[in-house]
Amino acid sequence: SHMKTRVTRLVLLSIWLAVLLFALLPVAGVGRYTLQWPGTWGFISTGDDAFAGSIFFASTFAFLGLSSLFVTMACNLATIEALVSRCRSKATASHSSKQWGRIATETLLQLLGIMCVLSACWSPLLITMLKMIFSHTSFEHCNGFGSAAQGSGLHKECNFFLTAVRLASLNQILDPWVYLLLRKILLQKFCQAASAVSKCSNNEWKERSITLSEEIRRTTA
């Protein structure tokens, strides 16, 4: 059964409104954004117990993010399963079936690429946020350490959190490249280029081995 267009629009509109209301919670006094180390960017406060709703807003953000990851992966896996079953049912030698197989292969590769990029970009940040929330810590204290603590564990944790945020910001940049690069034509060109380079290196290695064996024969003679 297919969802009607009107129902789809209502569901999308409801999701957009819910996201907008959640983003406006700090304006209403629930949660807040604070300046993070090294003082050049701001993010959700995770360990300010004195501020009302800070833990609630941060934990809700992390749980919603992880839930979105799991739902996205489940939907992508369901789509991959449907494509595989459709390809098996269309396993004939006709031109249309070959074209369908090419499109299905590209879609499978793109879905797998999107899943990998999404998990790699967002999982470190969301898991780190939950870890800070449950341990009642915050990376706002990173602003307080000096240059003498550059090699300490605190400095490594602060750098890891900063790297996690940078990875999350890269997700929007990498997604279009996944759709662009994971195409069957480009992958075939890449495989052909890699095969040509491999053949050249193998031929060069064979020539060197032949030359070396001839030199050894000359020296022994």
Q: Residue 65: CB partners within 8 Å, gap ≥ 6?
A: 122, 125, 126
- Distance, CA of 55 to CA of 123 (rounded, Å): 19
Question: Is residue 94 a part of any domain in this protein?
Answer: yes
| Residue at 135 is within a domain | yes
Per-residue pLDDT, 149: 45
Q: Residue 81 has what pLDDT?
A: 84
Q: Do residues 55 and 49 touch, judged by C-beta distance below 8 A?
A: yes
On whether residue 212 sits in a domain, the answer given is: no
Longest C-alpha distance within the chain, in Å? 92
> For position 165, what pLDDT does the model report?
86
3 in a structural domain: no
Mind spelling out the 3-state secondary structure of the chain? CCCCHHHHHHHHHHHHHHHHHHHCCCCCCCCCEEEECCCCEEEECCCCCCCCCHHHHHHHHHHHHHHHHHHHHHHHHHHHHHHHHHHHHCCCCCHHHHHHHHHHHHHHHHHHHHHHHHHHHHHHHHHHHHHHHHCCCCHHHHHHCCHHHCCCHHHHHHHHHHHHHHHHHHHHHHHHHHHHHCCHHHHHHHHHHHHHHHHHHHHHHHHHHHHHHHHHHHHHC
- List residues bridging with 43 in a β-sheet: 34
The Cα angle at residue 42 between residues 40 and 48, in degrees rounded to 5: 125
**Per-residue model confidence (pLDDT) at position 25:** 87
Are the CB atoms for 127 and 120 separated by under 8 Å? no
pLDDT for position 14: 93
Could you tell me if residue 201 is inside a domain? no
- In a domain, residue 204? The reply is no
Q: Write out the residue range of the structural domain in which residue 98 sits.
A: 56-182
CB within 8 Å of 84: residues ≥ 6 apart? 104, 108
| In-domain check, residue 116 | yes
Residues, the chain:
221
Overall number of domains in the chain: 1
Instruction: Give per-10-residue mean pLDDT for the chain (221 aa).
Output: 76 91 86 76 72 80 91 87 76 60 76 88 89 75 54 70 87 83 64 61 54 57 54
Tens digit of each residue's pLDDT (9 = 90 or more) over 16-31: 999 899 888 888 888 8
Q: Is residue 127 part of a domain?
A: yes
| pLDDT tens string 40-89 | 777 887 766 556 678 888 888 999 999 989 998 898 888 888 887 877 77
